[in-house]
Chains A and B, each alone.
Chain A
Amino acid sequence: MTRREEQRLIERAAAGDRAAAEACIRAHQASLYAYLLRLSGRPDLAEDVAQEAFVRVLTHLDRFDPRFRFSTWLFTIAKRVYINACQKLRPASCTDALGGTHDAADGPGEPIVSDEVAANSRDAVQRALMVLPEAQREIVILFHLLDWPIAVIAQHMDMPAGTVKSHLHRGRRRLREALERCERDAARVREVWA
């Protein structure tokens, strides 16, 4: 979607066009959810935050500044909602959990063994991401998952571009090391329980 198309869509949605609002959601929900999921490691939280962010954005479309990209605005609001949600959820912090990818619905009746194997093999990259400090994690996600330019990330994170780059470089290396470690662990678990 070009900037012009996006702008027209937003104008229509702001004027009360339901179809335009729906198109806005459909255009951004996958990337927003992925960003929040990778950031938090919790699908339930990512879903709630994404939903709340969309509602806030679509309710206040008249405040949107067309000089910026809609996605930048949406993600900024989503991050704010996410931070608020994390503060409410403490001490069960969002960023604590290597096991954050467990479904909240998983009950004690689930077989522990299969759960651990599945958790290890299912989303090693999520576990690796959770090892990174939050700023590094977010920058790696924005750059490599959402393909945001460094300048836009710097604006979003409110930090100089050089700082963003050094976070990115360190985060990328740590991600590789953590992912290799997680994969080794997962392979070991599979071997043990095979």
Chain B
Amino acid sequence: MNDRTRRRDPGRIPDRLVDAYFDRELDEGSRDRLLGAMLGDPDRAEELAGIRRAINRLREPVAAPDLTERVLARVGRRRGFLSRRVRRLVRGGRLTAVACLLAVVLGVVVIERIAPGALRLTPRSRPISAVVEAGRADAERSVRLLTGADATGPDRAVSRGVIVGPLTPGALAGVRRLPPVSDHGLTIMGGSGAATVRRIPDAATFARSMEPFSFARASFLGSAEPAFEEPADDTPRPAPALIRFRGLEWVVGGMSDGSSGGGPPR
């Protein structure tokens, strides 16, 4: 029986209404009207009762076996269950880990805010042109320092070719640019006498033994054996001298009392 049947039998309740009834799609009013209409359609009423009976039979409970223990035993073998105490420990551990992570993140944020870049482990990458430019700027600044342009204290005085104050080991004398010297030799031109040329190792220190020719910081030249002999006590102290070393021209000399200070580099 379907809607075609209904066209033949206008009094018959349509299939779609019966389906909607069993699909629980009818509201209470429609349901009452359908049940009322059943009185005039005994075939439909019988069909409806048959379907209702089948559904009721289907919904009768079946005796289900208890699978709980068997399932739990198998699951326990596969992944195991944890006691309440262990579960608490695990949960506590997770919470602690999360708290630590949050604390670290918070600490990093605070440090970055107070001192930006303080936590940077590697230098910030820069374009090679910037590196070259920075190197050139550093070199120029070093030269300016050596020529005494930016020097202070004794170094400033030396920049004029005169050492003022005690010439202590490590005091920087003065410098002028010269063409590079290929043999890394050192030329000392005494202020009054003839020029004296001595060869010294690449790295030499002129501390103490060369006083008052001490012209370089030990840290600048590194350490090596003295290249000059210690002058005798009665030897007159030389006048300021010009020293060429590694392409730089140095003016050194002067007395600790400043009586024979040299002039500008010659």
Contacts and interface: CB of A to CB of B under 8 A. Distances in A.
Interface stretch (A32-40, A63-71, A86-94, A103-111): A32-40
A22 to B, nearest CB: 6
A15 B82 contact: yes
B54 A175 contact: yes
Contact of B22 (A15, A21, A22, A172): A172
Secondary structure at the A interface, as helix, strand, loop or mixed, is helix
A182 to B, nearest CB: 10
B67 A47 contact: yes
A58 B71 contact: yes
Given A50-B67, A51-B70, A144 B58 contact: yes
B177 interface: no
Q: Which DSSP category, helix, strand, loop or mixed, fits chain B's interface?
A: helix
Interface string B1-39: 000000000000001000100110000000000000000
Contacts of B87: 15-17
B55 A144 contact: yes
Interface stretch (B73-81, B112-120, B182-190, B225-233): B73-81
A144 B55 CA distance: 7
A124 B53 CA distance: 12
A165 B74 contact: no
Interface string A172-187: 1101100110000000
B64 A34 contact: yes
B75 A29 contact: no
A29 B67 contact: yes
Contact of B50 (A37, A47, A51, A180): A180
B234 interface: no
Nearest to A125: B57
A4 interface: no
A16 B81 contact: yes
Contacts of A47: 65, 67
B23 A165 contact: yes
B192 interface: no
B78 A55 contact: yes
B75 A55 contact: yes
A176 B52 CA distance: 8
A144 B67 CA distance: 24
Nearest to B68: A25
B53 A179 contact: yes
A169 to B, nearest CB: 5
B46 to A, nearest CB: 10
A30 B78 CA distance: 24
Interface string A39-57: 0000000010011001100
Given A51-B67, A54-B67, A176 B60 contact: no
Given A22-B72, A59-B79, A165-B23, A33 B51 contact: no
Interface residues of A, number: 39
A168 B16 CA distance: 12
Interface string A92-130: 000000000000000000000000000000001100110
* Residue of B50, B67, B68, B78 ringed by the most chain A CB atoms within 10 A: B67
A141 interface: yes
Interface string A139-165: 011001100001000000000000001
A179 B84 CA distance: 51
A188 interface: no
A144 B81 CA distance: 36
A16 B53 contact: no
Interface of B: 15, 19, 22-23, 47, 50-51, 53-55, 57-62, 64-68, 70-72, 74-76, 78-82, 84, 86-87, 90-91
Q: 6 closest Cβ contacts across the A-B interface?
A: A16-B82, A33-B64, A18-B81, A125-B57, A54-B71, A176-B50
25 contacts: A15-B90, A16-B81, A16-B87, A18-B72, A18-B81, A21-B81, A22-B68, A25-B68, A25-B72, A33-B67, A37-B62, A47-B65, A51-B67, A51-B70, A51-B71, A55-B74, A55-B75, A55-B78, A58-B75, A144-B55, A175-B51, A175-B58, A176-B51, A176-B53, A179-B50
Given A16-B82, A59-B79, 8 more contacts: A21-B81, A25-B72, A26-B68, A29-B64, A29-B68, A124-B57, A165-B19, A172-B51
